[in-house]
Amino acid sequence: MIDVRTLRANPEAMRATIRLRRVDPRKADLDRWLALDERRRALQTQLDEVNAQKKQLAGLGRTDPDAARAQGQALRNRSRELESEIARVTQEWQAILDWFPNWPHPAMPPGEGDDDNVEECAWIPGQGYLPAARLGKGFHTAQHMPQRPIHAEDPDFAPLHHADLGQHLGGIDTLQGAKVSGSRFAYMLGDIALLQIAVEQLLTGRLLESGYMPIIPPLLVRERSLYGTSHFPEGRDQVYEIQPHNVEEGTELFLVGSSEPSNFSYFMDRTLDEPALPIRMFANTPCFRSEAGSWGKDVKGIKRVHQFDKIELNAVCAPEQSEALYEEFRTINEWLLQRLELPYHVVDKCGGDAGYLATHRQRDVEVWLSGSREFMEVMTDTDTTDYQARRLNIRYRTADGATHLCHTVNDTGCALGRMLIAILDNYQQKDGSVKVPEALRPIVKKDYLGR
RNA sequence: GGAGGGGUGUCCGAGUGGUUGAUGGAGCUCGUCUCGAAAACGAGUGGGCCGAAAGCCUCGUGGGUUCGAAUCCCACCCCCUCCGCCA
């Protein structure tokens, strides 16, 4: 949610922002909102006056109740009319306000979709960063990326899709997953499951060294948490809604699609002391997504499934700290991919492709699948400034006693299922085996899977 | 699942219809005292809305009764205790 005072002062800037972010103008109906806002304030002023009179009468009522009663009834009726009218106006006012996006970073690239994202950097194992002159828009650097499985000892073979490779190795079973839970569910077994555990330990170790606080949060949350992080109302169809029959009547919970709402909600309605900031934390949790409307897309394998594990990085901080944390998260993302020796590029997301409404600025880290010759999103780094903190009511207190809204920054530390895809794809060998990345061998304790 | 108790400011804790946004204590801030600190004493100290001021809202949330609600009524949310069940 954005600050209504800033909005009132800059309606044309919001009109431009709605265009930049490609928000449906019927939902983010600025003109309607401005009219409602004016109406709302006028009504509130009237109500304040009536309330002030009521208060005066209440004082009179102590000495002369009959006189107070005579005048009071009319005032009460008037205040009720005003209250119900304000409630009606506020409901619509709020419903529109919910659809206004965060103010974008001045450098957020314009554009409609992923072809308009701007490449910040690209890295290839053994080569390092590509020169800036080779960067472009969208998937521009794909042409410079390896076109054969990069870690294959003999790259002269037709690479396998990760689903086939996983099945061949006996470590990914989508058929039994579908039998047990339906399509888009999978079992991961044995060495491939171990591979995931190894990635978890690699990253977790790094985060602990850097002082990140581990957090194990609830994964079933109330509506307010998802509304607070702005996953609602826009992404409501992407989560599972739980209506339990075996517990208390009327309980309504949602399975989180990311631990971000759970993690930030820990700080909901709290006022933190400034010296405690920034608070950096990470959670390794399952994530549940209904992916409604994506039928037919990426149906093979585990790229798009209803349940996957993810290490999430979150920070609650003071306003002047959020940009630095946004960069810090990127360095951790790059560190992991470089340790795993996976090629990738980082893109600055354009207005039309920059995730949820809370986004002030966002970048994606996309790993290159040298076998499949495509980029795949594995991490998203987002600075939401005070947008989420305002809805969640997360504040901090400065030394002079004043309270201000915090900023929140969040990043995918690692989408584990997709990282497995990247490893399988890039490390596959001619004989159908998969080389284990150096950094994971201490835990996997094998040089190859399937040999 | 059964039975009971309770939600008040940063915290503890009064208040059961009339200047109570709220007694008191702790904490915190400032001042006096002190070489300095502690102690003592004095003053201050929740959040939000509306350009400022005035004013209004806020005692878990929402409704209701009343001239007037923290206080009475209803619904919901949450917490605690005992029993049951369970990892």
Q: Provide the CA A64 to C1' B44 distance, Å, integer.
A: 38
User: Quick one: DSSP state of residue A185?
Assistant: -
* Rounded Cα distance, A184 and A357, in Å: 27
Task: Name the region of A137 (left: φ>0; alpha: ψ -120 to 50; beta: rest).
Answer: beta
The pTM score is 0.92
A54 in contact with nucleic chain B (CB within 7 A): yes
Residue A278 near residue A314, CB atoms below 8 Å? no
Buried/exposed code over A181-195 (b: 16+ C-beta within 10 A; e: otherwise): eeebbbbbeebbebb
C1' of B34 to CA of A398 (Å):
30
In degrees and rounded to multiples of 5, residue A240 shows phi and psi of -85, 130
Separation between the CA of A38 and the C1’ of B17 (whole angstroms): 37
Please check whether strand B approaches the CB of A94 to within 7 Å. no
Please state whether strand B lies within 7 Å of residue A8 at its CB atom: yes
A90 touches strand B (CB under 7 A): no
Query: E-assigned strands of A249-373?
Result: 253-255, 270-273, 279-288, 307-317, 344-348, 361-369
Strand B atom within 7 Å of A401 CB: yes
The conformational region for residue A350 under phi > 0 = left, psi -120 to 50 = alpha, else beta, is beta
**Rounded distance between C-alpha atoms, residue A261 and residue A423, angstroms:** 29
- Of all nucleotides, the one whose C1′ comes closest to residue A400's CA is B29
One-letter amino acid at A50 equals: V
A403 nearest nt, CA–C1': B47
CA A213 to C1' B59, whole Å = 35
Can you give the distance from the CA of residue A252 to the C1' of nucleotide B2 in angstroms? 23
Residue A61, nucleotide of least CA–C1' distance: B67
At A164, which helix (H) or strand (E)? helix A162-168
Strand B proximal to A34 Cβ, under 7 A = no
Residue A451 has a CB neighbour count (10 Å cut-off) of: 11
Question: Which residues in chain A show pLDDT less than 70?
Answer: 244-251, 293-295, 400-401
Strand B contact with A271 (CB < 7 A) = yes
Tell me the residue length of chain A: 451
**Neighbour count for residue A232 (Cβ, 10 Å):** 20
Tell me which nucleotides of strand B come within 7 A of a protein CB.
1, 10, 18-19, 45-51, 54-57, 63-64, 66-68, 76-78
A251 CB closer than 7 A to any strand B atom: yes
pLDDT of the residue at A249: 46
Please give the span between the terminal C-alpha atoms of chain A, in angstroms, as a whole number: 54
The reply to whether A87 has its C-beta less than 7 Å from any atom of strand B is: yes
Q: Is there contact between A296 and strand B, defined as CB under 7 Å from any strand atom?
A: no
Q: Does residue A76 reach within 7 angstroms of strand B, measured from its CB? A: yes
> What per-residue confidence (pLDDT) applies to A116?
96
A404, two tokens: 């201000």
Shortest-distance nucleotide from A71 CA to C1': B67
Residue A342, SS3 per DSSP: coil
